[in-house]
Amino acid sequence: MPRRKDIKKVLMIGSGPIVIGQACEFDYSGSQACKALREEGFFTILVNSNPATIMTDPDMANITYIEPLTVEMVTKIIAKERPDAILPTLGGQTGLNLAFFLMKQGILKKYGVESIGASVEAISCAEDRELFKKAMQEIGIDVPRSGIATTVEQGLKIGLGIGFPLILRPAYCLGGSGGSTAYNKEELEKFLYKGLETSPVHQVLVEQSVLGWKEIEFEVMRDCVDNVIMITSMENVDPMGVHTGDSIVVAPSQSLTAEEYTNFVNLSKRIIRRVGITGGGANIQFAQNPDNGHIVIIEVNPRLSRSSALASKATGFPIARVATKLAVGLTLPEVMNQITGKTTSFFEPTVDYCVFKICRFTFEKFPRAERVINTSMKAVGEAMSIGRNFKEALQKGIRSIEISRFGFGADGKDKITDEMLAKPDNGLIRLIKDKIRIPNDERLFYIRYGLKAGLSIDEIYELSRIDRWFLDEMKELVETEDEIRKFRNNDAEKEIKVPLDLLKEAKKEGFSDRQLAYLLNSKEDKVREFRKKQNIKAVYKLVDTCAGEFHSKQPYFYSTYETQDEGRPSKNKKVVILGGGPNRIGQGIEFDYCCCHAAYALREEGTDSIMINCNPETVSTDYDTSDRLYFEPLTLEDILNVIDLEKPIGVIVQFGGQTPLNLAIPLRKAGVHILGTSAENIDIAEDRQRFKQMLHKLDLLQPENGTAFTFQEAKQVAEKIGYPVLVRPSYVLGGRAMEIVYDEATLEYFIKEAAEVSGEHPVLIDKFLEDAIEVDVDMIGDGEAFVIGGIMEHIEEAGIHSGDSAMALPTYTLSQEILDKIREATYKMAKELDVVGLMNVQYAVKDDKVYVLEVNPRASRTIPFVSKVIGVPLAKLATKIILGAKLKDLGFTKEVIPKHVAVKESVFPFNRFPGVDIILGPEMKSTGEVMGIDVDFGRAYIKSQIAAGQNLPRKGNVFISVRDKDKRAVVFIAKKLRDLGFSIYATAGTATALEKNDIKVLVLPKIAEGRPNILDLMKDGKIQLVINTPSGRIPRQDEVKIRSQVILYNIPYTTTISGAQATVNGIEAMAKKDLNVKSLQDYHKKIKSQIPNPLPGRQAGKIKNGKNKH
C-alpha cells in the first residue's frame, strides 16, 4: 500500500545522551529513520538532547531541536510545530517512555498527534508487565512465574511464594537497570527497595529465575497487512543470568534444531501479532531449558533496540530504515532491499558466516565496583566480528574490543601463565572455577585457563552453563595453540618453521600474527612477512543478506582465510577512514560522528571512502555511510590487510579518537601514507619530551613537569616542582589512572598504578594548578591558514577531566586579553605542527597566565558540539582540507562567536556501579553528553542539567555540606538560594560558616549521631538539591553515604562549587522566565549572516554518478 497521505509532519524523538544500555545504536536507527522519512517526502521534526549524534545534524531532519527530553519541553515543541504523527520507536527506551508519558498525559490527543510504529496499546502490552503476562498466556506462551510488587511487603510475599533464586526487574527501565538476582530473603528485601526506587512507575517484577537456561533472541518485523519476517535469530553464549547487553552473542543461533528454530519463529509471529505491532519491528527474548527444550518468553521490545542494531549489522538488513517505512504505511514488498538492489525487503536474510558480539567493560574506571556481571547491564560498548566459523569470529571479536588482547589468549598477555597452568595448585583451580562460575568480563580467558589446566568440557559446562558446543570450539583453539607452540624457536631471530597447513589452519581459526609471533617466539612483522611469502593472505567475503544467492550491489566486507576473494576493489581514487572501535569511556559517539562526516566529505569530493570499524551500534558501520565498509578489528594486521587489497591514496587517522591515532606511527612504518597532519608531527604532540621542547621554542607556558619510571625519580620530580602534582601514564585515553597527589605517601601508591598502565612508557608528573580555569579549544587548519572553531570554558575547575566537565561556548568569564593569549598560542602551535585537519588544545588559566596542558592533533570529543553550536561542520571541512582544499575555498576563514550560549554537560553511569563514589577527578567517568542551548548562560546551563537527568527544583530544601576550602564561596550560593525561597539544611561545620553570614540554616546531625539525619530526609523526598564537595582524596564515611543515596533517589546534586554556582544561576533564570524551545536551524540562521561566504552544504556538494545512495 502506498505511504499514508494523511500524515505530513512527523516528530521523531531521539534517545538522549549515551548511557549504559543506550548507546549510539539509536543514532544509527534515528539517522536511518530521518533518511527514510525524507525519501518518502515527509516533513521531519527531530528532538534529541545529544549533540554528538549524526541525527541532530541540521540537514538530517527539516527541523532539529537540541532540547532536554522531558514531557514539558517536547510538549512545547509539539505546540509550536504541530506534527501529525510521532514516531517513538527509534529513540530507544527514552524515546518510547517519553512518547508513552505524552500519551498518558493526553498531550498527543490534545494536539491531534498520532503515534505511528507502535500504538499506545502495543507499547502498553509489551511494557506493562501485568498486561504482557496476560497477553502471553492468552496465546499459550509460558512466562516465568512471577508477580508485580508495588511495595516491599508485597514483593516479599510473591518472592517467597515462587522460591529462590528470583530475578527482580523494575518496570520501564532501560538496560535492565536496577535488575538483580536474589538468592535469599535478605537479598530479596534489599533489591526490592532498590528496584522500587529505580522504576519510574514504582513497580518491580519478581520472577522465577531461569538462570542457566539458553537465551535466544529473535528480531521480527511486521507490516500493516500482516506480512511478518524474521531478520535473524541470536543465541547468547552467556546463558540467562547475564543481561543480553553484557552477553557474548552469536548470530545466527548455533545449537537449535530446525524444529526448534521453526517453533521459535512461530512463537515470535504469534507474539508480534498479539502485541499488535502493525508497522515496525520487535526484539523478542526467550529462555529455553537446555535439558528439555521448554521455552518461556522473557520480554518483547516493541521498538528498535541494541539487539536490532546488531541484527541489522549482522545480516545487512537495514531494520531501522524498513521499520520507518512500515510505520508510515508501506508494506514489506514495497520497500527495496538496497544491499542486493533487486529483491525487496519482504524476505528473510540468511547468512553464510558466524557473527560474534562481545562487550567492552570499564571496571578499571570504577575500582570500587564489584567486577561481576549480572542482570543489570554494565557494558559501555560492544564490537561485532564476522568469521567463517565461530573460532575465527571469537578471536576477531576479542581483538575488536581493544583491551590489548590479540585473540583467545596465547598473545603473551595472559594473567595466568602456561607454566602455572601446567601444574595448577588447588588455589589456582579454585580461582579459575570461581571466575568461570560467576559471570565477569574476563570469563572467556578463564575458560581458556580452565581448559589448559585440565578441566573437562562437562565440568566447565556445569560451572558456566555455556553450551558445550561453544566450549568445544574454544577447546579446539587451545589445541591449535598447543600444536603451533611445538614449532617454537628458542632464538627469536631464527627463521619461522611452522608447517604451512598448520599456519593456514591457524589463520582460518582467527589466530592473529601477534599470537603466532608469541607462540613461535618471533615478531609480528616477521610472521606477516612469512605468511605473505607463502601466499597465506586474508580474503574478503560479503555481507549480502542472501548467502550469495543474488549478486549484491552494495554489500560490506569481512576478512577470512578462504580460497576466493570477493573484495573486487574499484579503480577509483580512495581513502581509508579508521573508525573508533567499540564505545568506551573517553571514546564514543563523538568520534563516530567525525568518521561519518569524513565519509560524507569524501563522497562530496568524488573520492571513494573506505571505512574500517567494528562497532555495530554506529552510523559509520551503516551500509550506505561509506562507499565500502570493512567490518574488521582496528589492529595493525587487520588494517594492513585491507590496505593491501584496496591500495588507497592514504589513511585518515584523526577522526576515530585515540585508537587510530595510536596506529599512525606503526602504519607509517609499514609504508602507509597518513593523510592530514603528518605522523611525525602527531608524535611531537604525543611525545612528552618533544612536546616540551616545542613549547619552549614557541615561548609558551606549561605547568612544570617531569617524567619518571620509578618512585624515586617521581619523588625527585615532585619535590622539584612542588605538590600538588598530577600523575598520569603516557599514551592513554580518558585520563586512565590519572590522579592528583598532595603528598609523598600517596605519590608512591599512584606511581605504582600509573606505571602499570603506562607499560614501557614513563609516567608523567605535572604541577597541578589548583583552582585554575580550564579551557578547551578546537581548531581547524590547512597548513597555511588556521581558524578556531570554538573556545570553551570549563565550568568545573582544573583537575576534573575535560571529558567530565561541563563547558560553555562561548566562554563566560574569561577576559578579552586572556582569550587573545589563547588564540595566539593556538595558532602558534598549529603552525609549528603544520596542522592539516583538526587540532584540540587544553589550557589552564591561572593568575592571568595561560598554560598549555595538552595538544591533540586530531578530532576531539567536542567537535560535534562545537559544529552544532557554530553551525559549521568542522569534521567535514577538515576532511576536505586533508584532501587538499584550503579554508579560503571552503569559506571558513573567521572564528564564529555565537550570540547564543551552549553548555555541554556530561552524563555518568554511577547508578550502574553501586558503592562507587560519584565525585569527579582527573580520570574520566562519563559515558555521554547533552547540550543545553539558549540565549544566556544561566538558561543554557539549566537546560543542560535537565537534559542530563537532573530534575532541578524551583523551590524546596537544599542540603549543603562543603569542605573548609569551599566554605567562603558557598556563602554567596546559599544566600542566593535563600533569596529564591529555598530552605537550607547543612552539617554543623558548613552551618557555622553560613550562620556567620546571617543565613538561616537547619543543622543536621552526623549520620551516626542522630535521626532524622540527611539520609532519612532524602529517603522521604524532603531534599530537592544536594551541594556536597568532597573533603579530600579519602572521603569521610558520611559523604560517600550521602552521595550514593543521591544516585539511588535521583536527587539533583553537584560536587563542585563552580557547578553549584552555575546551578543557582540556572535556577534563578528559570524562576524569572519559563524555558523555551528554539530549533538549531533558527540559531544557525543568525550565524550564517556572520559568515561571509555561505558554506557548501551536503546537498550542494559534488555527487558522482551512481554515488548518490538515496
Select 262 or 951, whichever has its Cβ closest to another protein. 262
How far apart CA 793 and CA 795 sit, in angstroms, is 6
Q: Which of residues 949-1008 bind another protein (CB under 8 A)?
A: none
Select 213 or 623, whichever has its Cβ closest to another protein. 213
Select 1 or 422, whichever has its Cβ closest to another protein. 1
Whole-number minimum distance, CB 558 to another protein, in Å? 12
Q: What is the DSSP string of 700-752?
A: -B---EEEESSHHHHHHHHHHH-SSEEEEESS-STTTT-EEE-SHHHHHHHHH
Are 815 and 836 contacting, i.e. CB atoms less than 8 angstroms apart? no
381-387 vs 354-360, strand pairing mode: antiparallel
How far apart CA 141 and CA 134 sit, in angstroms, is 10
77, 354, 436, 643: residue in contact with another protein (rule CB under 8 A): 354
111, 261, 709, 731: residue in contact with another protein (rule CB under 8 A): 261
217 binds another protein (CB under 8 A): no
Whole-number minimum distance, CB 232 to another protein, in Å? 9
Select 342 or 647, whichever has its Cβ closest to another protein. 342
Whole-number minimum distance, CB 316 to another protein, in Å? 13
Select 116 or 546, whichever has its Cβ closest to another protein. 546
Whole-number minimum distance, CB 210 to another protein, in Å? 16
Whole-number minimum distance, CB 476 to another protein, in Å? 7
Half-sphere exposure of 90 (CA within 13 A, CB side): 37
Whole-number minimum distance, CB 563 to another protein, in Å? 4
Select 149 or 546, whichever has its Cβ closest to another protein. 546
Select 128 or 467, whichever has its Cβ closest to another protein. 467
Select 221 or 993, whichever has its Cβ closest to another protein. 221
Whole-number minimum distance, CB 546 to another protein, in Å? 7
SS3 14: coil
456 binds another protein (CB under 8 A): no
153, 226, 784, 964: residue in contact with another protein (rule CB under 8 A): 226
574-578 vs 650-652, strand pairing mode: parallel
426, 563, 1105, 1108: residue in contact with another protein (rule CB under 8 A): 563
Residues with Cβ within 8 Å of 766's Cβ and at least 6 positions away in sequence, in order, are 703, 704, 705, 721, 725, 726, 728, 853
Choices 149-157, 266-274, 443-451, 948-956; region in contact with another protein by CB under 8 A: 266-274
342, 647, 752, 1085: residue in contact with another protein (rule CB under 8 A): 342
Choices 180-188, 249-257, 657-665, 1038-1046; region in contact with another protein by CB under 8 A: 249-257
Residue with cell 534563578: 1068
Q: What is the DSSP string of 802-824?
A: TTTS-EEES-SS--HHHHHHHHH
Grid cell at residue 253: 543461533
Are 233 and 281 contacting, i.e. CB atoms less than 8 angstroms apart? no
Select 457 or 1091, whichever has its Cβ closest to another protein. 457
568 binds another protein (CB under 8 A): no
Q: What share of the chain is helix, strand, coil (3-state, %, to 5)?
A: 40, 20, 40
Dihedral-angle region of residue 982 (phi above 0 means left; psi in -120 to 50 means alpha; beta otherwise): beta
How far apart CA 779 and CA 786 sit, in angstroms, is 7
564 binds another protein (CB under 8 A): yes
Choose among 286, 441, 447, 303: nearest CA to 378: 441
334 binds another protein (CB under 8 A): yes
702 binds another protein (CB under 8 A): no
SS3 1054: strand
Beta strands in 88-163 (DSSP E): 114-115, 146-149
Choices 260-268, 431-439, 637-645, 796-804; region in contact with another protein by CB under 8 A: 260-268
Whole-number minimum distance, CB 188 to another protein, in Å? 31
348, 680, 683, 832: residue in contact with another protein (rule CB under 8 A): 348
Partner residues linked to 558 by β-bridges: 541
Stretch 493-512: interaction string toward another protein, x if CB under 8 A? --------------------
Grid cell at residue 422: 601446567
Whole-number minimum distance, CB 218 to another protein, in Å? 13
Choices 227-235, 439-447, 891-899, 1000-1008; region in contact with another protein by CB under 8 A: 227-235
Choose among 206, 203, 202: nearest CA to 187: 206
111, 193, 346, 972: residue in contact with another protein (rule CB under 8 A): 346
Whole-number minimum distance, CB 885 to another protein, in Å? 41
521 binds another protein (CB under 8 A): no
Three-state SS sequence of 255-296: CCCHHHHHHHHHHHHHHHHHHCCCCEEEEEEEEECCCCCCEE
402 binds another protein (CB under 8 A): no
Give me the sheet containing 1002-1004, strands edge to edge.
1002-1004, 983-987, 957-961, 1025-1028, 1053-1054
139, 160, 225, 492: residue in contact with another protein (rule CB under 8 A): 225
433, 541, 801, 912: residue in contact with another protein (rule CB under 8 A): 541
Whole-number minimum distance, CB 536 to another protein, in Å? 15
Q: How would you class 847 by CB atoms within 10 Å of its CB: exposed for 0-12, middle for 13-18, buried for 19 or more?
A: exposed
347, 487, 709, 827: residue in contact with another protein (rule CB under 8 A): 347
550 binds another protein (CB under 8 A): yes
- The Cβ of residue 487 has, within 10 Å, a number of other Cβ atoms equal to 16
227 binds another protein (CB under 8 A): yes
648 prior amide bond cis, ω within 30? no
User: Letter for the amino acid at 934?
Assistant: D
Q: Maximum distance among all alpha carbons in the chain?
A: 85
How far apart CA 792 and CA 856 sit, in angstroms, is 15
551 binds another protein (CB under 8 A): yes
How far apart CA 625 and CA 617 sit, in angstroms, is 13
262 binds another protein (CB under 8 A): yes
131, 265, 952, 1003: residue in contact with another protein (rule CB under 8 A): 265
Partner residues linked to 359 by β-bridges: 382
Q: Which of residues 464-483 bind another protein (CB under 8 A)?
A: 467-469, 472, 476
Select 262 or 712, whichever has its Cβ closest to another protein. 262
Residues forming contacts to another protein in the complex (CB under 8 A) are: 1, 223, 225-230, 252-263, 265-267, 269, 290-293, 331-334, 342-344, 346-354, 388-390, 457, 467-469, 472, 476, 541, 546-551, 562-564, 566
